[in-house]
């Protein structure tokens, strides 16, 4: 866990507000661009209320089970792309899929109810995020809360 945190200049929680698929680096590789509305910044700094995250692949090209979708509530461990131009403000997930945690469908329903009642559920609730890729062969935790991550990064 410490390595994932150390390798991630930005760690956030948020909700995927929009996705799109592009091929802007070469003519073969699809990238799914995720517009993420940031709820909490656990490490690093976000200059606006949303960020763009690049996931390699698409529903047609790649592992659909690890691709995020509009409406997903996520905790993401992120690394700047270091790409030129407009892409320089975008992020990659640290460790390809290692840095992707998502709330479960049941938890998502609770999030939606709280958000409809309170406007911004992140102020009223700390969800448990589950690891998206549990078969990657590493020893990262299968579940995390924002409080656990924040405690680790502040030390």
What's the pLDDT tens digit per position in 33-76?
999 999 999 999 998 899 999 998 888 877 666 889 999 999 99
pLDDT value of residue 106: 62
143: domain range?
A: 2-154
Q: Identify the CATH number of the domain in which residue 26 sits.
A: 2.40.50.120
With tokens 């938890």, the residue in question is 107
Count of residues for the chain? 155
Percent of the chain residues topping a pLDDT of 70 = 81
Provide, rounded to the nearest whole percent, the portion of the chain with pLDDT above 90.
Answer: 53
> What is the domain count for the chain?
1
Could you please report the per-residue DSSP string of 49-117? SEEEEEEE--SSSS-GGGS--TT-EEEEEEEE---SGGGGG-EEETTTTTTEEE--HHHHHHHHHHHHH
- By the 8 A CB rule, do 84 and 117 touch? no
Q: What is the pLDDT of residue 84?
A: 92
- What is the arithmetic mean of pLDDT over 8-24? 95
């Amino acid at each position: 866990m410490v390595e994932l945190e150390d390798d991630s200049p930005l760690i956030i929680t948020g909700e995927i507000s929009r996705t799109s698929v592009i091929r802007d680096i070469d003519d073969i590789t699809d990238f799914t661009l995720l517009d993420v509305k940031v709820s909490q910044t656990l490490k690093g700094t976000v200059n606006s209320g949303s960020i763009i995250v690049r996931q390699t692949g698409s529903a047609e090209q790649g592992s659909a089970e690890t691709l995020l979708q509009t409406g997903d509530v996520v905790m993401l461990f992120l690394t700047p792309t270091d790409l030129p131009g407009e892409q320089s403000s975008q992020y990659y997930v640290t460790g390809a899929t290692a840095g992707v945690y998502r709330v479960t469908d049941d938890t998502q329903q609770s999030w939606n109810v709280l958000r409809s009642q309170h406007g911004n559920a992140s102020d009223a609730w700390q969800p448990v995020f589950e690891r998206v890729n549990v078969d990657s062969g590493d020893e990262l935790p299968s579940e995390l809360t924002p409080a656990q991550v924040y405690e680790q990064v502040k030390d």
